[in-house]
Amino acid sequence: MPTPPQPDTHWGSSYRLVAADKWKAQSAAMGRPLTEALVEYAQPRPGMQVLDVATGTGEPAISTAERVGPTGHVSALDLSADLLDIARHRAQQRGLTNISFHVGDAQELPFADAQFDLATSRFGVMFFRDPVRALREVHRVLKPGARTCFAAWGPFEQPYWQSMMGVVAKHVGGPALPPGGQDPFRFAQPGSLSNALRSAGFSTIHEETRTVPWFWQGDAEQVWEYSRAVSAPFRALLDRVPQDKWPQINHDVLAAIRQYEREDGIDFGAQIVFASGQKSN
């Protein structure tokens, strides 16, 4: 039976990094279809100079570096040096030399104007402190005619979240996410990410919500432990759980997850917002 969550699981904390390492194979496999979908959406081409913002442990920066080839380059940026160390190691394992890693803030990108042919971010734009300011920075560093492409979570009301954090929220009451805190679903409302892109100066904006594979190669207990460890925005929710409620919550969460159980894992599916904009010539 899963144990109650541990303290100090803020984004980039040592506990989260340990969890990320423990479940790295399953996590990478679960996220791979989304990475592939975002790369196909962004259409990086050989020779391109690409910026990946909030790259975390390296995707889609690494996959993009493979697409742009030796004549191209990917600059991968994140606030966490620890996560970038993981990304750097993964790139080295692939033998990539056309990718560099930068500690930095999306609100103040450490790059020159009109430097990049393409910008991407997978699950990063929702967590920018000031999204429009960050998007204006992305706009600044793109060349005229270049695109920026994002993937963000769709609604909270979908299997992966409802089977775990949704169950917890029903038991303890109150908001699943603290007001004013990190919100993975900030751009779940159709058109909201498009509006932010438009406010930042982008044109030729496109947005769609797709369901992509989101498959955990393991059992219900494992994905519940993983989710508690790495879902930092839900820290306050988990901390509100009284100790005596954990046995019932764990029971109900595992029952909810097992609705999506298949022979070789858990088949959640994920509703994802894809959005893009272009810097005018």
User: pLDDT digit string (tens) for 84-116?
Assistant: 998 999 999 999 999 999 999 999 999 999 999
Per DSSP, the chain holds a count of helices (H) and strands (E) of 11, 10
Check whether 70 has a pLDDT greater than 90: yes
Cα–Cα dist 193/269, whole Å: 21
Check whether 82 has a pLDDT greater than 80: yes
pLDDT at 2: 38
Q: What is the tens place of the pLDDT at every residue in 205-263? A: 999 999 999 999 999 999 999 999 888 899 999 999 999 999 999 999 999 999 999 99
Tell me the β-bridge partners of 275.
Answer: 150, 207
Q: What is the tens place of the pLDDT at every residue in 182-205? A: 899 999 999 999 999 999 999 999
Cα–Cα dist 171/242, whole Å: 10
Q: What percent of the chain has pLDDT over 70?
A: 93
pLDDT at 22: 78
| Mean pLDDT computed over every residue of the chain | 92
**Residue 4 confidence class, pLDDT cut points 50, 70, 90:** very low
Check whether 14 has a pLDDT greater than 60: no
**Residue 169 confidence class, pLDDT cut points 50, 70, 90:** very high
Check whether 6 has a pLDDT greater than 50: no
What are the chain's domains? Answer: 14-278 (3.40.50.150)
Cα–Cα dist 48/70, whole Å: 10
pTM: 0.91
Cα–Cα dist 249/164, whole Å: 9
- Quick check: 119 and 50 in contact, CB under 8 A? yes
pLDDT at 95: 97
Check whether 277 has a pLDDT greater than 80: yes
pLDDT at 20: 62
Q: Is the dihedral of CA 176, 274, 96, 115 positive or negative?
A: negative
